[in-house]
Structure 1
Amino acid sequence: MITARPRPATRLSDAPHPIRPPAAPAVRVRPARTRDATALAALSEPFVRSGALRARPFQVYAWHAGEFLMAEAPDGTLDGCLALRVHPEPTRDGRATGVLYNFCVAHGRQGSGLGARLLAAALAEGRARALDTLFTATTGSGRLFLRHGFVPVSPHRAPETWARSLDPRRGAKVLARVL
């Protein structure tokens, strides 16, 4: 009698009972409300201290809460946020624009795809609002933005009042994406 040995699985999906990593807790992306201002400010604070975000008074979070998308864990914890301001003035070439700002993901959630979900939600919101272009400024590498179709542009292509508000000492790169 010849006994055959099972061939070893070459990929995880080939195994009889594939081992899957535990799923990350479900996160809901939703518009922020005024009552979320304290959590938005608290999430942003470590990024302000590190220099990654500009300091903003608490009132900005309260008055402009409606501009924020937030990623909320099932327990109500705020894991990330990103604001989209529809800019009142068109660009020099007449395009309707928006500006993304205050993008942050809690340190324990970075690398989980949460930032990509927030950015995708902001892009969808920009399209729903019939914006032609979204702009952002980053002092970091901007890799996530670049992977999602943003390209470096001159600040002169952005809405003039927003471009003037950028602090040149921060060395931020301006990126844009046509929607």
Structure 2
Amino acid sequence: MAKSVPAIFLDRDGTINVDHGYVHEIDAFEFIDGVIDAMRELKKMGYALVVVTNQSGIARGKFTEAQFETLTEWMDWSLADRDVDLDGIYYCPHHPQGSIEEFRQVCDCRKPHPGMLISARDFLHIDMAASYMVGDKLEDMQAAAAANVGTKVLVRTGKPVTAEAENAADCDVKQPCRSAIGDTEAAKISVMDKR
């Protein structure tokens, strides 16, 4: 049996990159200041880095799955060029009211459902209790809770944060996770949180 590893699950839009809304072109993709350094440090600490992202723009016809895959490949290479190797990238192209029939469905992968996190857990042998979900929305926190992720970290680098999201998180900018992860790790995660 493979040894389990702790992971940092990362939402994409609003957590890794600036959320301009339906980001699908390289020219519109802007890494949030400090996020690459934080990811590099977390990787050095032994965490698997796993992106879990809802991409309803595919189902809504805002962009194609091929466009998303091109951007994702570019993002992955851009991070690798800066010594950040992602262990997994999981995305959900579905939406129940999508205009593209192939992707119009209720699924278990679209956050707040835990499907992407469970798939990553099973494939990468992730120790969920020792892992963290870092995201900017309530759905990120809910997916993490449903997948039994140990710590839910709400960042304020994306859309405005709701009180419901704050309540669902274990920590956010007001409570920097020091007791949960220790000073070093909390400092690295807080680099992602500029607002």
In our comparison, the structure showing a higher alpha carbon Rg is 1
Which TM-score band applies after superposition, normalised by the shorter structure? Answer: 0.3 to 0.5
Q: Name which structure has the greater RCO, CA cutoff 8 Å, separation 6+.
A: 2
TM-score (norm 1): 0.35
